[in-house]
């Protein structure tokens, strides 16, 4: 069986101008990065204002397991299938992070016959967006330290510098560091987060244009003075230089699927420590260019979909028309208690137990007023009895579950899913509304997510955290949404509690104010904003062969 990279290399790539033309994007609106990828120029995007919007379709999933779910693969397969049945469709997904690529997850460009290409470029440096975000973030960190070194005219309290550094790689040794050793200023405790957790990443993905980008960057809180008032990026006069670094990164990237259909790939905030969606600019532009836009939100629906609805859609004025929940028989059996090495055999009892996880996500999506369909991402080991069980379970919960074979068959294997999505959209049953209102307090918003989505009995916060939330409300940030940073593996903060647990508590370990992005991050349990590499990282398998071709990347 050929590997993903072998399938991708065997595919004839169309010139990127031909791919863009399928969305009526003229060649002179492209900024080429080689023959097969390009950025879409800002002036053309600005000319799209006033056009009607297409239908926005979200692809989300059950809680992830080591068995895999295939959310990106399904997103690509659905986009291809919509084009196959005669709809003008575009795909909008996130750019992969180098951390997971060289860590445990591997690449994030789909798989089999449902991929975006050139997969090596997209998974590695692509068009340099992540490097620009990393550099802009760390420029601000350097300017904070430089301000302290040259006299501290803003009276920053060195103990209350909250702006850490970032890099686009998993590196647990950098979570906590001490800076300015060797006589280069006053030593201070700090640390690194991964780039996808940067507020600059979140800002780029939520900004509408360069002017909005600079305004948001200027609002970033980097430290507090001795009188406890906030010091912002604009106070340090760093927002202009950061905007200059991000000017090209703000323009969405266009590539193609294996079937030659257009895909916009832009931005990449993580869904367990950020809001997990591609950029608002790419999504809103695609909606002006296509009749159907298929996008995804990271990890399970309790994280990615909730943040897509409560942060991205709320802030950008988006109104999704349908949701696809991806599940595999394998992942549901793992949620039912089957070990990864025992997934090959039929186990209807475990599958029935694991379907509770799917049922919980169906119930949660209904809270937002958007109709859902289930995509069963097919594996060759799946038995007819197992598929029928999941379909019966979904039907009992008011949804259709459709077997999808896009990995093996491309768009032909997802045609029925595309038809069902069109039926849902054309029926017009979506009545989207966020989970909570802007008027609730920050603590009430955290509790709304914990109780309604996670089914927690209580939210536990310490006095210092409660005091910070109250202070931020007093300072005018009370109407912001909340971004829950939580393990992706469970509805709880314990990654080992699979299925659909109830009767648990959500412990809030820390809160961070992302004033520029426009949300408050609540860090739950032991979630890390700088992941580590696994015992056997994917980097050990990646290299370059004698012909100069990259190998081991998937």
The 10s digit of each residue's pLDDT in 476-505 is 999 999 999 999 999 999 999 999 999 999
Among 88, 105, 497, 509, the one annotated catalytic: 105
The C-alpha atoms of residue 272 and residue 485 are separated, in whole angstroms, by: 5
The answer to whether residue 123 is domain-embedded is yes
Q: What CATH number is attached to the domain comprising 465?
A: 3.10.410.10
Among 299, 309, 472, 491, the one annotated catalytic: 299
Residue 9 has pLDDT above 80, yes or no: no
End-to-end C-alpha distance for the chain, whole angstroms: 14
For residue 521, give Cα distances in angstroms to 60, 160, 184, 515: 21, 18, 32, 10
Among 309, 368, 407, 491, the one annotated catalytic: 407
Q: Bigger pLDDT: 270 or 261? A: 261
Predicted confidence band of residue 13 (pLDDT cuts 50, 70, 90): confident
Residues 270 and 390 reside in one and the same domain: yes
List the helix and strand counts (H, then E) for the chain: 20, 25
The answer to whether residue 532 is domain-embedded is no
Residues 382 and 506 reside in one and the same domain: no
Residue percentage of the chain with pLDDT more than 90: 85
Residues 242 and 335 reside in one and the same domain: no
Last residue of a domain, one of 427, 458, 478: 427
Active site residue 407: yes
The C-alpha atoms of residue 148 and residue 154 are separated, in whole angstroms, by: 9
The answer to whether residue 259 is domain-embedded is yes
Last residue of a domain, one of 246, 279, 303: 246
The answer to whether residue 221 is domain-embedded is yes
pLDDT value at position 66?
A: 85
Predicted confidence band of residue 475 (pLDDT cuts 50, 70, 90): very high
Residue 1 has pLDDT above 70, yes or no: no
Task: Answer yes or no: are the C-beta atoms of 267 and 53 closer than 8 Å.
Answer: no
Active site residue 536: no
Q: What average pLDDT does the segment 84-103 reach?
A: 93
**What DSSP string runs through 210-273?**
HHHHHHHHHT-EEEEETTS-EEETTTTT-HHHHHHHHTTTTSPEEEEETTS-EEEE-----TTT
Active site residue 333: no
Last residue of a domain, one of 213, 246, 279: 246
The answer to which of 262-276, 375-389, 425-439, 509-523 has the lowest mean pLDDT is 262-276
Q: What CATH number is attached to the domain comprising 24?
A: 3.40.50.300
Active site residue 340: no
Domains contained in the chain, number: 3
Residue 526 has pLDDT above 90, yes or no: no
Among 13, 14, 39, 71, the one annotated catalytic: 71
Q: What is the DSSP letter of 197?
A: G
Residues 422 and 446 reside in one and the same domain: no
Active site residue 73: yes
Task: Give pLDDT tens digits for 171-198.
Answer: 999 999 999 998 888 899 999 999 999 9
3-state secondary structure of 484: strand
Q: Is 432 left (phi over 0), alpha (psi -120 to 50) or beta?
A: beta
Structural domain including 379 reads: 4-127+249-427
Number of alpha carbons in the 13 Å side-chain half-sphere of residue 163: 28
Q: What CATH number is attached to the domain comprising 231?
A: 3.30.1510.10
The answer to whether residue 547 is domain-embedded is no
Among 197, 207, 271, 375, the one annotated catalytic: 271
Active site residue 271: yes
Residues 297 and 413 reside in one and the same domain: yes
Residues 277 and 368 reside in one and the same domain: yes
The C-alpha atoms of residue 194 and residue 26 are separated, in whole angstroms, by: 36
Among 94, 307, 330, 455, the one annotated catalytic: 94
Tokens of 256: 């193609």
The C-alpha atoms of residue 452 and residue 171 are separated, in whole angstroms, by: 34
The answer to whether residue 112 is domain-embedded is yes
pLDDT value at position 273?
A: 82
Predicted confidence band of residue 290 (pLDDT cuts 50, 70, 90): very high
Q: What are phi and psi of 30, to 5 degrees?
A: -105, 145
Residues 190 and 137 reside in one and the same domain: yes
Residues 256 and 378 reside in one and the same domain: yes
Among 11, 65, 72, 73, the one annotated catalytic: 73
The C-alpha atoms of residue 332 and residue 141 are separated, in whole angstroms, by: 43
Residues 274 and 360 reside in one and the same domain: yes
The answer to whether residue 267 is domain-embedded is yes
Among 379, 472, 491, 519, the one annotated catalytic: 379
Residues 169 and 309 reside in one and the same domain: no
The answer to whether residue 133 is domain-embedded is yes
Residues 269 and 389 reside in one and the same domain: yes
Residue 222 has pLDDT above 90, yes or no: yes
Residues 57 and 206 reside in one and the same domain: no
Residue 88 has pLDDT above 70, yes or no: yes
Task: Give pLDDT tens digits for 126-141.
Answer: 999 999 999 999 999 9
The answer to which of 13-22, 127-136, 206-215, 541-550 has the lowest mean pLDDT is 541-550
pLDDT value at position 551?
A: 83
User: pTM of this prediction?
Assistant: 0.94
């Amino acid at each position: 069986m050929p590997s993903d990279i072998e399938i991708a290399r065997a595919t004839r790539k169309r010139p990127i101008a031909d791919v863009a033309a399928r969305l009526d994007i003229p060649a002179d609106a492209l900024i080429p990065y080689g023959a097969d990828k390009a950025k879409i120029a800002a002036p053309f995007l600005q000319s799209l204002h006033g056009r009607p919007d297409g239908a926005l379709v979200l692809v989300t999933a059950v809680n992830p397991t080591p068995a895999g779910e295939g959310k990106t693969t399904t997103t690509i397969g659905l986009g291809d299938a919509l084009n196959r049945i005669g709809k003008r469709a575009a795909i909008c997904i996130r750019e992969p992070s180098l951390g997971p690529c060289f860590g445990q997850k591997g690449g994030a460009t789909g798989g089999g016959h449902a991929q975006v290409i050139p997969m090596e470029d997209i998974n590695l440096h692509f068009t340099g967006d992540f490097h620009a975000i990393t550099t802009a973030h760390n420029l601000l960190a350097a300017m904070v330290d430089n301000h302290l070194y040259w006299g501290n005219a803003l009276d920053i309290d060195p103990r209350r510098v909250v702006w850490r550094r970032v890099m686009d790689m998993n590196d647990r040794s950098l979570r906590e560091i001490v800076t300015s050793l060797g006589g280069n200023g006053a030593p201070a405790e700090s640390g690194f987060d991964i780039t996808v957790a940067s507020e600059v990443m979140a800002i780029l993905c939520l900004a509408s244009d360069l002017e909005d980008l600079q305004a948001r960057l200027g609002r970033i809180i980097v430290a507090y003075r001795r009188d406890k008032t906030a010091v912002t990026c604009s106070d340090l006069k760093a927002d202009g230089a950061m905007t200059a670094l991000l000017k090209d990164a703000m323009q969405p990237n266009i590539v193609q699927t294996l079937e030659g259909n257009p895909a916009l790939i832009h931005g990449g905030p993580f869904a367990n420590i950020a809001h997990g969606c591609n950029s608002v600019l790419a999504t809103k532009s695609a909606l002006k260019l296509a009749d159907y836009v298929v996008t995804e939100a990271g990890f399970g629906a309790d994280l990615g979909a909730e943040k897509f609805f409560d942060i991205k859609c709320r802030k950008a004025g988006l109104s999704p028309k349908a949701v696809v929940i991806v599940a595999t028989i394998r992942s549901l059996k793992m949620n039912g208690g089957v070990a990864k090495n025992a997934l090959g055999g039929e186990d209807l009892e475990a599958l029935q137990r694991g379907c509770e996880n799917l049922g919980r996500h169906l119930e949660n999506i209904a809270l937002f007023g958007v109709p859902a369909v289930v995509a069963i991402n097919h594996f060759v080991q799946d038995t007819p009895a197992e598929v029928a069980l999941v379909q019966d379970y979904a039907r009992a919960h008011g949804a259709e579950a459709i077997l999808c074979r896009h990995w093996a068959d491309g768009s032909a294997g997802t045609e029925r899913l595309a038809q069902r999505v069109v039926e849902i959209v054309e029926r017009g049953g979506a009545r989207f509304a966020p989970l909570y209102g802007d008027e609730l307090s920050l603590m009430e918003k955290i509790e709304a997510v914990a109780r309604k989505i996670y089914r927690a009995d209580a939210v536990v916060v310490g006095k210092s955290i409660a005091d910070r939330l109250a202070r931020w409300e007093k300072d005018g940030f009370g109407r912001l949404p909340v971004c829950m940073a939580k393990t992706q593996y469970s509805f709880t903060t314990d990654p080992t509690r699979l299925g659909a647990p109830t009767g648990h508590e959500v412990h809030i370990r820390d809160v961070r104010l992302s004033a520029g992005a426009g949300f408050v991050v609540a860090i739950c349990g032991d979630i890390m904003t700088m992941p580590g590499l696994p015992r056997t990282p994917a980097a050990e398998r990646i290299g370059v062969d004698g012909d100069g071709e990259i190998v081991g990347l998937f």
